[in-house]
A and B are shown apart, each in its own frame.
Chain A
Amino acid sequence: MMSTKAEGTFFTPRFKFNLSCYFILLIPISMLTLFIYVPVMWAFSGSMFEFEIGGDSQFVGFANYYEFLFLDPTTYPSLLNMLFITFFMVCVRLSFPLVVAKLVFSLTKEKYRYVYRIIFLIPIVVPGVAVQLIWSGMIYNDRGLLNELLRLFDFSEVGFLLAMGFTEEFLRSISPSEWTMGWLSDPRTALIAVVFVGFPFVGGFEVLIYYAGLTGIPESVNEAAEMEGCTGLKKFFLIDIPMVMSQLKLILILSIIGGVQGFENLFILTRGGPGFETTVPGLWMYFNAFSFQRMGYACAIGVCLFVIIFTLTFLNFRYFKSTEELETQK
């Protein structure tokens, strides 16, 4: 195709070839520009305006940012909620799946190891929305698992304790059956209930990723550890965890990003309520945009969240070294 005779100096075969490359890239790049770069720029520019959808816009400069950072009474409670949720998510997603992956990895038979990995993957076929709805309708519901389990323990109906001379009133007051409540609608428990969705937090993805990390530990390291008498818990903390550091780092970044920007689960479970107990900035952005028609303000919140995510990701890459980087440094 490049052997065609050069006609003049401008339309060289090389130029024609480049042109074909540009032509092929035209559709992907224009889609990217229109549906990603335009919204991104619109987010920054829109945050300087106060406007409704389809209405007039008015330039307000940094007033939206000022309002979000200094005037809006929901900002700091919601940021605290976000911090709590993110911190919790990071903790559980770095610990539970790693422990399970290690347990599965320690099994002798490859067959069982494979079966267990598949078992923990099965729940991912359930849409995320359905998982949240199942938890709110099945576990936290007034007639849900949690309350029904508590109702099973009513000491005031235990004849043995009554015979021992405890009054019925006292027994009832210490029975778990008295603790039943609307877990998602009670301000004291709403936030805890929200983060406990997905208990015991053994996500199939994380297990698979950590498992792959554990498989990647060279046999020589394992043998050396065994010869030195480093087994069990000691090996887990001194050998395994440092060796799966790059996987931990991946999950850490994903959890942080997910925690800062995620609000779908809160939207489904509580819609930020009761009051503002479970509101996070992302959810507040959603309500501003789609309920209160404050598009500019919503854009400003989005930009603030972007700055947070960007900073945290950058810090993570900069200061939290993965296994390979640690090795090359030595």
Chain B
Amino acid sequence: MKKSKFRDFILHLVIMCFAAMTLMPFSFALNNSFRSNAELYRSFFGFPREMRQAAHAGWAMIRGSDLQFAVEDWDNEGEESVVSASTAFHQHVRNFTRGYRLAWDVLRDYMINTLIVVSVTASGVVLMGSITAYILSRYRFPGSRFFYYMIISTMMFPAVLTLVPSFMLVRELGLLNTYWAMLFPYIAGGQVFAMFIFKGFFDGLPEELFESARIDGAGHVQLYLNIVVPLSKPIISVVLIMNVFATWNNFLWPFVVNTEGEYHVIASGLYVMATSHFAQNFSTLFAAYMVSSIPLLILFTYATKPFIQGVTSGAFKA
């Protein structure tokens, strides 16, 4: 027994080393999002100064001491003033969150665009994929095999082959600089994989269910809404989440089709921001990276299970 405890201790140690190295860049980014460039250049490591001073002032505020504090105003080119504890506390907090405020001003529009694109894409993909899979999985009709192979074989074409012609197509259709330039290709591409996953699941549903419903006079719509959807809730959430992650991370396509830069999503917006006049403003950039991670962090927290299920079933192939 003692031996296995020692072994576990060593294992913990090694795994923690790996975990620490994996998380290191992100923790440094988080730390430095609260520090000014001057602080960063003075020393790369180190706790955010304004945060520490905010803690001091905050503690003085709680004790009700009437000490005076000297604070800089970062929004006002570091102008220094001597103020009471509570004013100092609020000023310090404003200082170390300055990066976040600036980042959010830029990211807000991108965030809205992303939420629109991601939610419409995900619902479109699930809807298209599931009705196609329902038809192809439950019925045989002339051409059903053909349609199945026609859909499946698109998985063979890599994104690199279709990038340039897709751009030309979207341009010909006059969709550049619209949401549709992202929505249509995303849904068309995403439904293939969704169909593949759904079909595998629907094939396993007992035919008797459908048969009895059909005898009761149910049509396609009733069958789909009353049998398929309620039974496939878990698989729907898997497909939804996989799709949200894929869409969220797609950088190149939004970057290419938004020639005027109005409809950038988070991914392309971050790149645009990093190459703009913010390029040397590290606290703002790092704050932007952190802000851009929050929505997926929330999603991930609430949907860890379907996510893990999706990954382990090999659902991340596409």
Contacts and interface: CB of A to CB of B under 8 A. Distances in A.
Contact of A148 (B8, B19, B45): B45
A122 interface: yes
Contacts of B12: 107, 112
A118 interface: yes
B192 interface: yes
Given A32-B151, A135-B25, A21 B135 contact: yes
Nearest to A288: B164
B314 A127 contact: no
Given A125-B297, A127-B292, A250 B44 contact: no
B160 A305 contact: yes
A100 B163 CA distance: 35
B251 interface: yes
A34 interface: yes
A289 interface: yes
Contacts of B219: 1
A305 B128 contact: no
A43 B165 contact: yes
A295 B168 CA distance: 9
A43 B248 contact: no
Interface in A253-308: 254, 257, 260-261, 263-264, 267-268, 282, 285-286, 289-290, 295, 298-299, 302-303, 305-306
Contacts of A21: 135, 139, 141, 144
Nearest to A300: B164
B29 interface: yes
A36 B162 contact: yes
B161 A28 contact: no
A24 B191 contact: no
A202 B185 contact: no
B166 A29 contact: no
Most chain A beta carbons < 10 A, residue from B32, B158, B268, B282: B158
Given A1-B219, A125-B293, A148-B44, A202 B18 contact: yes
A209 to B, nearest CB: 6
Given A31-B187, A31-B191, A32-B191, A209 B312 contact: yes
A134 B30 CA distance: 10
Contacts of A39: 161-162, 165-166, 168-169
B90 interface: no
A116 interface: yes
A299 B164 contact: yes
Contacts of A108: 4, 8
B150 interface: yes
Contacts of B189: 35-36
B192 A32 contact: yes
Interface stretch (A67-75, A84-92, A139-147): A139-147
A123 B251 contact: no
A60 interface: no
A39 B192 CA distance: 16
Contacts of A285: 160, 163-164
A302 B11 contact: no
Most chain B beta carbons < 10 A, residue from A34, A137, A263, A290: A137
Given A1-B217, A42-B168, A130 B292 contact: yes
Interface string A229-266: 00000000000000000000010001001001101100
A129 B267 contact: yes
A119 interface: yes
Contact of B293 (A53, A130, A303, A305): A130
Most chain A beta carbons < 10 A, residue from B11, B142, B189: B11
A250 B163 contact: no
Contacts of B187: 31
Contacts of B314: 209, 250
A31 to B, nearest CB: 4
B180 to A, nearest CB: 11
B289 interface: yes
Contacts of B8: 107-109
Nearest to B29: A134
A30 to B, nearest CB: 9
Given A43-B165, A143-B41, A28 B132 contact: yes
Contacts of A1: 214, 217-219
B271 A126 contact: no
Contacts of B188: 31-32, 34-36
Contact of B131 (A28, A121, A204): A28
Interface in B162-212: 162-169, 171, 184-185, 187-189, 191-192, 195
B160 A261 contact: yes
A24 B312 contact: no
Contacts of B54: none
A205 interface: yes
B220 A264 contact: no
Given A103-B11, A125-B296, A264-B252, 13 more contacts: A2-B214, A29-B150, A35-B169, A35-B185, A103-B18, A121-B304, A125-B299, A127-B293, A128-B251, A148-B43, A209-B314, A250-B317, A261-B158
12 contacts: A35-B188, A40-B165, A103-B15, A117-B308, A121-B308, A124-B300, A125-B293, A127-B296, A130-B289, A138-B28, A202-B19, A289-B167
